[in-house]
Amino acid sequence: MNNYFIKRTGRAVLTLWVTVTLTFGLIRAIPGGPLEMLRARLVRQGVDPTRIDAIIQSRQEESQPIYVEYYEYMSSLLSGNLGESFYFREPVSSIITDALPWTVFVMVTATIILFAIAIVWGAIIAYKEGSTFDTVSSGLSILMSSVPFYVLGILFVVVLSYRFGIFPARYRTSPGVTASLSIQFVGNALYHAALPIASIVITQVGLQTLAMRGNSIQVLGEDFVRVARLRGLSDRRIAVRYVGRNAILPMYTGFLTLIGFNLGGSVILEEIFTYTGIGYYMFEALINRDYALMMGIFLVITTALVLSVYIADLTYGLVDPRVKSGDSSEAY
Amino acid sequence: MKHTESETGTEEEFSFGAAQSEVEVSTADRLRDIYREFIYKPGLVAWEDNRTRIGASILAVYVFIGTVGTWFYRAPTTNQSERSLQPFQTWEAPLGTTSSGEDVLAMAIHATPEMLIMILSGGIFATVLAVLIGTVAGYKGGTTDRVLTTFSDVAMSIPGLPLIMVLAVVISPERATVIGILITINYWAGLARSIRSQVLTIREHSYVEASRTMGVSTPRIIFKDVIPNIMPYVLVNFANAARYVVFASVGLYYLGILPTSVANWGIQLNNAYSRAGALSGGGTMYQLVVPMIAIMFLALGLILLAQGMDRVFNPRVRTRLAGESESETEDDEDAAAPTEVMT
């Protein structure tokens, strides 16, 4: 176990290091570069050419050997300095601290809701396998999975927000609502997050339901369930203790991974709902070629994903006692 | 898959027995064997399932539209018909026109070939890479395994969509093939991991061991003994990868991150959403709905295909009425550890 823990931690650190190096390389690979973009912007603003040259000169740093730049990049990252956003003229870290909680709130809520639905629904379908209910539910699950979340999101905005005005189409809260732990604030935040959450839940619940159905069917066929029946245990006890437990456990890692995965999808989702989380800022950064912000958010999303998979891997042994050491976690 | 001959017993023996045999199997024979083993047999088994049948039919319609359809239906240009025409008004533009007089149906049809190319290139790239890395890692074990597994773990932990977006901005790809590969730039990793765990069980099988003792070379064992066994599983995941390519590419086109020189349903969505005033309720919903339906049915076809085949090949999803499925899977009694691949 200890050995596995060290190895797994090493791998997480390695992944983060690769990503950081990748972003470092990407920033240098981007044609133009920040100074060129600055020049273009100043030209658009009609600034006098000699002044532009002076500004560029003053911003120009001595070109250093690549390893020195790399070292400085790494050390500033480690001290939490992600640079300054070119477009918003704010430190990248302060933009991220402002936006990240909202994205995490939407994605975690959505993932919890969709897993709750998938587990109950999938278990019921499995129990009634072969019935009309099974056919209809499985068909519906597949049908829902064939809609990309952003397509449903666009439909929601067009129909529910603009046509009928039931839900707000933009922003995290209504103007004037300040962040506090009041009922008004929480309610307002939920109201604004309802459509983004719904579009994730509806389009992703299908595949998880089918996975749960598959797990449950497999468990139902196991000998220990038959033995439990023969022992005359109550249906409830069999359903919860024997089938439910064994069918849900394999979905545990999927749950944490999906949260991380959805954080990556936030760019499209938040752009559609004009929800100012990290995805929204990443899109703005991409459009404005704001490389510092773009790479900062990319790093944050990667870190979140690496951490969630890391936690999933390390805790899987705790929730599922059958997995003794981590290496056998892939043997199920 | 270079030299994958058939895996039937007689031929196996034959090619081993006479290592440099004079009686070469002709290319036609070999192709016929490959067809029988990897397409006809799994196809026949999968065809039993309604989902596979419907999925394959839907995909066939798309292929038809993307190949023949584009020849018969005019390409979209501005002002080819009256502007802002509602659907079902004239035969000239059955699904209406945009505010610049472009035929909406023509736009949808002419986006299909590029999408199919993207799916193919992305799907092939992801599955071939995953099969190579997964089988070698699983079969060889040891240091090779450790290096390859770490490599795919790292690739897997980098979030796909943001990475693709950043790369799309950096290299701004124009060709559909390049876009397909870009989208699956790290998608292969998850698939490689699950293929590896399948191979781990296959390598212990007696016939693999037999080949090993006979001194058959590793590449030959991998191609002849291991890969045929995971082929059905690979086909299922090809369909899943294809769906991922559809979703990701349309999303990126919708955001305008990919170059808009190519026709795509995502661009159509974006135009309908931001320019045509579908928001203000100006009666332009049809411009949104047409590309949405195009995306949905393609994804539906791919999911149905994957699910239908998965039911046959994946024991976890197989029905507990064992009798029903056993007869169907004569060539796959060892479909190994089931693993779900995240979408």
Whether A267 and B162 lie within 8 Å, measured CB to CB: yes
Tokens read off for A248: 């849900």
Give, rounded to a whole angstrom, the gap between the first and last alpha carbons of chain A.
Answer: 18
Hey, is B330 helix, strand or coil?
coil
Whether A283 and B343 lie within 8 Å, measured CB to CB: no
Give the DSSP letter string of A25-90.
HHHHHSSSHHHHHHHHHHHHTT--HHHHHHHHHHHPPPP--HHHHHHHHHHHHHTT---B-TTT-S
Whether A163 and B281 lie within 8 Å, measured CB to CB: yes
Closest CB to A158: pick one of B279, B299, B322: B279
Contact B55, B43 (CB under 8 A): no
pLDDT tens, position by position, A199-214:
999 999 998 998 888 8
Hey, is B97 helix, strand or coil?
strand
pLDDT greater than 60 at residue A236: yes
Distance from B242 to chain A by nearest Cα, in Å? 12
Per-residue pLDDT of chain B (343 residues; tens, 9 = 90+): 444 444 444 444 444 444 444 455 677 777 777 677 666 766 666 677 778 888 888 999 999 888 888 888 877 777 777 766 677 767 677 777 777 777 888 888 888 888 999 999 999 999 999 999 998 888 888 888 888 888 888 888 888 888 888 888 878 788 888 999 999 998 898 888 888 888 887 777 778 888 888 888 888 888 877 887 777 778 888 888 999 999 999 999 988 888 777 778 888 888 887 765 555 555 677 788 888 999 999 999 998 888 877 766 654 444 443 334 333 333 333 333 333 333 3
| Chain B contact present for A294, CB below 8 A | yes
Phi and psi (nearest 5°) for A84? -115, 140
Which residue from B334, B315, B152, B303 is spatially nearest to B237, judged by alpha carbons? B303
Closest CB to B161: pick one of A257, A265, A289: A265
pTM: 0.80
Residues 211-250 in A contacting B (C-alpha not used; CB under 8 Å): 211, 213-215, 217-218, 220-221, 250
Segment holding A200, helix H or strand E: helix A183-220
Task: Identify all chain A residues contacting B204, using CB atoms and an 8 Å cutoff.
Answer: none
Residue type, A267: V
Tokens read off for A8: 């797994």
What is the predicted ipTM? 0.82
pLDDT tens, position by position, B167-226:
888 787 888 889 999 999 988 988 888 888 888 877 777 788 888 888 888 888 888 778
Phi and psi (nearest 5°) for B278? -60, -25
Distance from B9 to chain A by nearest Cα, in Å? 30
Instruction: Suggest the residue from A11, A154, A258 to mutate for an interface test with chain B (most B CBs closer than 10 A).
Output: A154
| Chain B contact present for A189, CB below 8 A | no
Whether A218 and B315 lie within 8 Å, measured CB to CB: yes
Task: Identify all chain A residues contacting B193, using CB atoms and an 8 Å cutoff.
Answer: 330
Whether B299 and A29 lie within 8 Å, measured CB to CB: no
Whether A148 and B343 lie within 8 Å, measured CB to CB: no
| Chain B contact present for A326, CB below 8 A | no
Q: Which residues contact B72 (CB under 8 A, 6 or more apart)?
A: none
> What pLDDT does B340 receive?
32
Tokens read off for A264: 């990556």
Share of chain A above pLDDT 70, in %: 88
Q: How far apart are CA B253 and CA B263, in angstroms?
A: 9
Closest CB to A150: pick one of B251, B318, B343: B251
For all residues of chain A together, what is the average pLDDT?
81
> What pLDDT does B343 receive?
36
